[in-house]
Chains A and B, each alone.
Chain A
Amino acid sequence: KQEVTQIPAALSVPEGENLVLNCSFTDSAIYNLQWFRQDPGKGLTSLLLIQSSQREQTSGRLNASLDKSSGRSTLYIAASQPGDSATYLCAVNSGNTGKLIFGQGTTLQVKP
């Protein structure tokens, strides 16, 4: 059974710092991995999707990497800003129906 773990559960950094969020999964047979952002009381917003054949994806200050063999993905946020404060979730798609298995998320606080 696929399990997804995110460490740390919470992170607090000063504004401007570069940071890395970690995601690990137990079964390397995945189709894709998605990173989402969730603001308090809101729904999820997709940030990046990495196909199983890809090693990384970039969008603005965000860069996500994927290492299937080791069962790991990282989300790199450059030059963090207070507006980046949110919960970041990674989710793995292991089947052909789009069912996602989520990690429990990392709650990020960027202090001005």
Chain B
Amino acid sequence: NAGVTQTPKFQVLKTGQSMTLQCAQDMNHNSMYWYRQDPGMGLRLIYYSASEGTTDKGEVPNGYNVSRLNKREFSLRLESAAPSQTSVYFCASTRAPLGVQADKNIQYFGAGTRLSVL
């Protein structure tokens, strides 16, 4: 049981290049999220998928697209990378966003992808 797995762990891009960050969870969770973490800004939500087949914008969606490929996988794509997208990206998942049982609401995070755009 690996939890939430993100690939790659590190990436360096040139301005204008594109790439896809991959995320997979093996906990049969329904909801998945993409955050970015920047110094002094904390973690901010980029996109989320409340359930398989649905995606919605978070706080900072500009410059990104997502795909909920199936229940396990949720990818984040940068179509034309910019230096402002240099950040650490985290994927997270939860069995259910809300519920009486608190353990179903806990968000589990991957180890992160450290992205530099030159």
Contact = CB atoms under 8 A, between A and B. Distances in A.
Interface of A: 31-32, 34, 36, 42-46, 49-51, 57, 89, 91, 93, 95-100, 102-105
B33 A98 contact: yes
Contacts of B106: 34, 46, 49
A78 B42 CA distance: 26
A97 B50 contact: yes
Tell me the dominant secondary structure on chain A's binding face: strand
B42 A42 contact: no
Q: Which 7 A-B pairs have the closest CB atoms?
A: A98-B97, A43-B109, A44-B109, A104-B42, A102-B43, A102-B42, A43-B111
B22 interface: no
Contact of B56 (A57, A89, A97): A97
Interface of B: 4, 31, 33, 35, 40-45, 48, 50, 56, 58, 90, 92, 94, 96-98, 102-103, 105-112
A46 B43 contact: no
A104 B107 CA distance: 17
10 contacts: A32-B98, A34-B107, A43-B109, A43-B112, A44-B107, A93-B98, A97-B31, A98-B33, A100-B43, A104-B41
Given A42-B111, A98-B33, A93 B42 contact: no
Given A97-B31, A102-B43, A43 B102 contact: no
